[in-house]
């Protein structure tokens, strides 16, 4: 009887785990504006674009402006899956409301010079990614890790088992963790976002993290068979006034 009960409980736990896994398709989009046109882009998103996105089934996750850059907007959307994403963007592109907004906003010239897009899936250890408006202003940090060949599983294990807990220990907020969907980045890249109380707090947290004896032991043990990370990119960002995540 006990064995049957245990089997049922294990099955129930497996079902719960599967249902809890975030299977949505995420997309990071980076817009580079023509000189002097960032404010026009922000106004268009604030007054129109985010609402039209929602109208077509897209979920606005967060919108950020990189610090010390005057022509870039970074934002993240989510969709039920990749097919839904394509359908939503097709509907958005042909929406008369959007066409009118685009035409009127570009009377003084084109706004966007270049767009970059990365399709992503949440890792199994990513916190639940949702809107979260903090009572105080926070600084966000977008970090991209490129691993050496074959080392992405080792990096994910290190984050899953140790790094997230150590980040939290040193005052950093884990926002979301993703792996790109498309090769070759899907084989060697981890993208994640942290939140800090300020740039000063971020520096203090990172200094404490890097000097933590526990982290040093974890890093040493995980790299017994070779270095894991070959490249790290970090971008500090402020949330826009209309971002669902602040």
The secondary structure of 208-244 as a DSSP string is HHHT-HHHHHHHHHHTTTS--EEEEEEEEEEE-TT-S
For residue range 155-178, list pLDDT tens digits in order: 999 999 999 999 999 999 999 999
In this prediction, residue 16 has a pLDDT band, given cuts at 50, 70 and 90, of very low
What does the pLDDT read at residue 240? Answer: 97
Share of the chain above pLDDT 70, in %: 91
Average pLDDT on 61-82 reads 96
Backbone conformation region of residue 171, classed left if phi is above 0, alpha if psi is from -120 to 50, else beta: left
pLDDT at 4 over 60: no
What does the pLDDT read at residue 68? Answer: 87
For residue range 189-239, list pLDDT tens digits in order: 999 999 999 999 999 999 999 999 999 999 999 999 999 999 999 999 999
Question: How many alpha carbons lie under 13 Å from residue 17 in its C-beta half-sphere?
Answer: 8
Average pLDDT on 61-89 reads 97
Residues 6 or more apart from 89 whose CB is under 8 A from it?
56
Average pLDDT on 17-46 reads 90
pLDDT at 19 over 50: no
Q: What span, in angstroms and rounded, lies between the C-alpha atoms of 109 and 26?
A: 30
Residues 6 or more apart from 32 whose CB is under 8 A from it?
71, 72, 112, 113, 114, 115, 116
Minimum mean pLDDT range among 16-25, 68-77, 115-124, 141-150:
16-25
Q: Check if the beta carbon of residue 140 is closer than 8 Å to that of residue 233.
A: no
pLDDT at 14 over 80: no
pTM: 0.90
Share of the chain above pLDDT 90, in %: 87
For residue range 122-138, list pLDDT tens digits in order: 999 999 987 776 667 89
What does the pLDDT read at residue 1? Answer: 52
């Amino acid at each position: 009887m006990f064995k049957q009960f245990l089997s049922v409980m294990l099955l129930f736990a497996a079902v719960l785990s599967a249902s809890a896994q975030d299977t949505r398709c995420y997309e990071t989009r980076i817009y580079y504006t023509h000189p002097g046109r960032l404010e026009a882009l922000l106004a268009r998103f604030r007054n129109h674009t985010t609402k039209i996105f929602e109208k077509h089934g897209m979920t606005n996750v967060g919108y950020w402006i990189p610090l010390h850059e005057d022509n870039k907007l970074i934002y993240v959307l989510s969709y039920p899956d990749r097919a839904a994403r394509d359908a939503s963007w097709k509907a958005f592109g042909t929406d008369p409301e959007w066409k009118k907004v685009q035409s009127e906003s570009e009377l003084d010239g084109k706004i966007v010079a270049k767009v970059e897009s990365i399709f992503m899936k949440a890792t199994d250890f990513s916190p639940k990614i949702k809107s979260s408006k903090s009572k105080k202003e926070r600084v966000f940090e977008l970090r991209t890790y490129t691993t050496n060949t074959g080392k992405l599983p080792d990096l994910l294990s290190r984050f899953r088992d140790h790094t997230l807990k150590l980040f939290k220990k040193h005052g950093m907020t884990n926002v979301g963790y993703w792996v790109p969907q498309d090769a070759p980045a899907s084989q060697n890249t981890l993208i994640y976002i942290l939140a800090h109380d300020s740039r000063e707090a971020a520096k203090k947290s990172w200094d404490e993290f890097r000097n933590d004896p526990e982290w040093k032991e974890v890093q040493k043990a995980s790299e017994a068979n070779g270095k894991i990370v070959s490249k790290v990119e970090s971008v500090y960002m402020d949330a826009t006034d209309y971002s669902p995540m602040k």
